[in-house]
Structure 1
Amino acid sequence: MALIFFGLFLGAGVYSFWKQKIAKSVIAVLAIGSVMCLSAGLMRL
């Protein structure tokens, strides 16, 4: 369950960084981490 919340937290960070026009590489790393956390959390359910 914690992985799902952490994935959502990272996803919100991706959205925030996208709005602030931060470097695309940082957004990509956060997005990959978010997807990995969400998928790991969902597979544990």
Structure 2
Amino acid sequence: MSKSAVALLFVGLFLAGGVISFWKQKLPKGVILVLAIGSVMCLAAGAMRL
């Protein structure tokens, strides 16, 4: 596994945790949506680099 793949997967999981946290805090849906899209993109990029 390359360092970039690990970094992208870590960032994607970190952002996913942020999505869950923001959802529980009842923050605006637009903020949660942008964060979720970023998380999915990081996880996908990390998975493709494996």
Tell me the TM-score range normalised by the shorter chain: over 0.9
- Of all paired residues, the percent bearing the same amino acid is 73
The 1-side partners of 2:36 and 2:10 are apart by 14
SS in 2 for 1:21: coil
Count matched residues.
45
Q: Which of the pair has more CA radius of gyration?
A: 2
Q: What letter matches 1:27 in structure 2? A: I
Flag structure 1 segments of 5+ consecutive residues without an equivalent: none
TM-score of the two chains, using structure 2 as the length reference: 0.89
The 2-side partners of 1:23 and 1:41 are apart by 28
The 1-side partners of 2:16 and 2:45 are apart by 14
Query: Which portions of structure 1, spanning 4 or more consecutive aligned residues, are displaced by more than 3 angstroms?
Result: none
Q: What displacement does 1:18 show?
A: 0.1
TM-score of the two chains, using structure 1 as the length reference: 0.99
Pick aligned residue for 1:4 from 9, 19, 32 = 9
CA RMSD of aligned residues (A): 0.2
Flag structure 2 segments of 5+ consecutive residues without an equivalent: 1-5
